[in-house]
Amino acid sequence: MRVTIIGGHGKIALLLAPMLVEAGHEVTSVIRNPDHVADVEATGATALVASVEDADTGAMTDLLSGQDAVVWSAGAGGGDPERTFAVDRDAAIRSMDAAQAAGARRYVMVSFSGADPDFLVPDDNPFRPYQDAKIAADEHLRASELDWTVLGPGTLTLEPGRGAVNPQAGFNDGDTTARELVAQVALAVLEDPRAHGKTLVFGDGDVPIDDWLASL
């Protein structure tokens, strides 16, 4: 498959790209900062410098032309609510519309376990803009005609991924997740129709990823 990772210099993306390349996929990693080209291309991916925050839907459609799949792994990084909404909600939504227009039907969203209206933190919590942005983006994806999967890991760590999940995890309940495991799950679901139309909340655990997907 021809796969575009949006947010290609993030920790998860830098772990995922070489996994995809090794599996035989053709990978393009979209990054904002040209200084990160060497880091991205060391993974075997092709670096594409573009600001998805600034690109309109038409520009994103051109960017995704000829691609089969999109993995959204970008984020504003918190701190500034306005930029959080601009990237984590608005740019993400434009990328979904662009993927549909470009014919890149497979779309994997790296979200988080708390992107659920049932788990809203108080309005004055500084985490709330991120939560609202991710909820809105995920809901737009679910309403699209794309073959989508939403990944919902919890608190991310730099521990090694063991290729096994806790499928019973919930928000702040068994959802601590190695970034490498998120990449392993993204790789596994990309070509697996069992994951289409699914929101997968998980954490580090003992159930092998394939066994988990077989149970869906």
pTM value > 0.75: yes
| Mean pLDDT rounded to a whole number for the chain | 97
Q: Is the pLDDT of residue 195 over 90?
A: yes
Q: Is the pLDDT of residue 120 over 90?
A: yes
Q: Is the pLDDT of residue 168 over 90?
A: yes
Q: Do the bridges between strand 46-49 and strand 26-31 make them parallel or antiparallel, or are there none, so unpaired? A: parallel
DSSP secondary structure letter of residue 216: -
Residue 81: helix, strand or coil by DSSP? helix
Residue 128 and residue 130: Cα distance in Å, rounded? 5
The pLDDT score that the predictor gives to residue 85 is 97
CA distances from 68 to 12, 107, 111 (A): 20, 9, 20
Domains of the chain: 2-214 (3.40.50.720)
